[in-house]
């Protein structure tokens, strides 16, 4: 019997944990005609309300429920990663506890997994219960991220995805800190596909993503996946350099034609040239910085998905 692991991060979710359990368990029990065993791993991300107490009660009555409790609030990404590190299923899915991601969609994801896909992204069509600000900024941000990373981080997806065991293992083995899972789940490659769904409103309670947390996550998404911001200095340097040279040439031509220019006029191209040189020197440092950053992240240079006719010990 194949096993599905469900990883559920929870932060101050006393209003939703029981509703989640009651809604999710019957769905998982009957999914694919009951052909799957499952475990639900709740990761209590340092909740200060009754979440821990409620989770302990669920675990006491149902051995398929497992609970990991953080010493403080480390954030949703850390909670999901911790769940992945402890899961034992043949595949794993992340689900928010507030039932915004419909549990029934997991069955559609399993169908794709059975077809041979390793990563099944949940793609949001409608996003009920989200503010206009969140919708607009999320759309702009993911478009930007998609553009600067070049690894195809898909728009309108979040952490709601199904991952094959081998993808979970690859991600958990990555040594970098502050993992941006949404990016890594695309970066790993393998066979990827989508399942579309309408995102519900929260079943109860308020969002736990403050603006500060959203900005931190967005910033991490950019810094973890792209060195593009480090190349801006070089581009600025070149543009300023070309501008100042064009200005100098124009001024020299004007002087040759007998048009006198005040001394102050020469200050603009001179300043632009100095700034351009500073930008270019900075770009050289950035080049080394991005190299060091890649080394520090220490991601594998490739991931082998399959080997044919090789001895076991050949890497």
When the beta carbons of 43 and 188 are compared against ligand UDP, the nearer one is 43
Say whether 99 sits in a helix, a strand or coil: coil
When the beta carbons of 40 and 79 are compared against ligand UDP, the nearer one is 79
When the beta carbons of 72 and 315 are compared against ligand UDP, the nearer one is 72
Is the CB of residue 154 less than 8 Å from the CB of residue 121?
Answer: yes
Degrees to nearest 5, angle at CA 188 with 70 and 117:
100
Is the CB of residue 105 less than 8 Å from the CB of residue 158?
Answer: no
Q: Where are the beta strands (DSSP E) in the chain?
A: 2-10, 36-44, 65-69, 91-94, 119-127, 157-164, 192-199
Q: Considering the rule CB under 6 A, would residue 101 count as an interface residue with ligand UDP?
A: no
Show contacts with ligand UDP in window 6-65 (CB under 6 A).
9-11, 13, 45
Q: Considering the rule CB under 6 A, would residue 100 count as an interface residue with ligand UDP?
A: yes
Q: What's the min distance (Å) between Cβ of 102 and ligand UDP?
A: 13
Q: How far apart are CA 116 and CA 35, in angstroms?
A: 17
Q: Considering the rule CB under 6 A, would residue 118 count as an interface residue with ligand UDP?
A: no
Q: How far apart are CA 63 and CA 204, in angstroms?
A: 26
Q: How far apart are CA 254 and CA 260, in angstroms?
A: 8
Nearest to 228 by CA among 300, 118, 176, 151: 151
Q: What's the min distance (Å) between Cβ of 131 and ligand UDP?
A: 10
Q: Considering the rule CB under 6 A, would residue 227 count as an interface residue with ligand UDP?
A: no
Q: Considering the rule CB under 5 A, would residue 100 count as an interface residue with Mg ion?
A: yes
Q: What's the min distance (Å) between Cβ of 217 and ligand UDP?
A: 9
When the beta carbons of 114 and 201 are compared against ligand UDP, the nearer one is 201
When the beta carbons of 90 and 130 are compared against Mg ion, the nearer one is 130
Element of type H or E holding 72? none
Q: Considering the rule CB under 6 A, would residue 96 count as an interface residue with ligand UDP?
A: yes
Binding Mg ion (rule: CB under 5 A), the pick from 13, 14, 39, 98 is: 98
Q: What's the min distance (Å) between Cβ of 308 and Mg ion?
A: 43
Q: Where are the beta strands (DSSP E) in 103-238?
A: 119-127, 157-164, 192-199
Q: What's the min distance (Å) between Cβ of 43 and ligand UDP?
A: 7
Residue 32 DSSP one-character state:
G
Q: How far apart are CA 33 and CA 116, in angstroms?
A: 19
Total residues at the site for Mg ion (CB under 5 A)? 3
Q: How far apart are CA 34 and CA 22, in angstroms?
A: 17
Q: How far apart are CA 99 and CA 107, in angstroms?
A: 15
When the beta carbons of 52 and 269 are compared against ligand UDP, the nearer one is 52
Show contacts with ligand UDP in window 121-140 (CB under 6 A).
none
When the beta carbons of 9 and 52 are compared against ligand UDP, the nearer one is 9
Beta bridge partners of 37: 3
When the beta carbons of 219 and 250 are compared against ligand UDP, the nearer one is 219
Which of Mg ion, ligand UDP, none binds 164 (CB below 5-8 Å, type-dependent)? none
**Alpha-carbon dihedral 143, 7, 22, 3, rounded to 10 degrees:** 120
Q: Considering the rule CB under 6 A, would residue 207 count as an interface residue with ligand UDP?
A: yes
Which residues contact Mg ion by CB under 5 A? Answer: 96, 98, 100
What is the contact surface with ligand UDP in residues (CB under 6 A)?
9-11, 13, 45, 73, 75-76, 79, 96-98, 100, 207-209
């Amino acid at each position: 019997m194949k096993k599905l692991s469900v990883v559920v991060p929870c932060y101050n979710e006393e209003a939703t944990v029981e509703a989640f359990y009651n809604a999710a368990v019957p769905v998982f029990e009957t999914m694919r005609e009951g052909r799957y065993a499952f475990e639900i791993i709740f990761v209590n991300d340092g909740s200060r309300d009754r979440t821990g107490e409620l989770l302990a009660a669920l675990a006491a009555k149902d051995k398929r429920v497992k609970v990991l409790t953080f010493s403080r609030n480390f954030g949703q990404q850390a909670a999901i990663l911790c769940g992945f590190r402890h899961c034992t299923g043949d595949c794993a899915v992340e689900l928010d506890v507030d039932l915004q991601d419909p549990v029934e969609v997991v069955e559609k994801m399993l169908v794709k997994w059975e077809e041979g896909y390793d990563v099944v992204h949940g793609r949001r069509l409608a996003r009920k219960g989200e503010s206009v600000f969140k919708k607009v900024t999320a759309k702009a941000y993911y478009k930007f991220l998609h553009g600067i990373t070049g690894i195809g981080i898909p728009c309108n997806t979040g952490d709601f995805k199904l991952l094959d065991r081998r993808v979970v293992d690859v991600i958990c083995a990555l040594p970098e800190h502050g993992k941006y899972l949404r990016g890594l789940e695309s970066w790993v490659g393998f066979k990827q596909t989508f399942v579309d769904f309408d995102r519900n409103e929260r079943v109860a309670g308020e969002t736990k993503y403050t603006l500060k947390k959203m900005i931190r996550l967005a910033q991490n998404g950019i810094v973890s996946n792209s060195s593009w911001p480090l190349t801006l200095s070089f581009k600025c340097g070149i543009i300023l350099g070309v501008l100042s040279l064009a200005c100098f040439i124009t001024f020299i031509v004007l002087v040759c034609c007998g048009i006198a220019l005040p001394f102050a006029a020469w200050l603009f191209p001179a300043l632009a040239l100095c700034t351009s040189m500073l930008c270019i020197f900075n770009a050289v440092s950035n080049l080394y910085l991005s190299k060091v950053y890649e080394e520090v992240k220490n991601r594998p240079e490739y991931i082998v998905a399959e080997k044919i006719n090789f001895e076991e010990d050949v890497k």
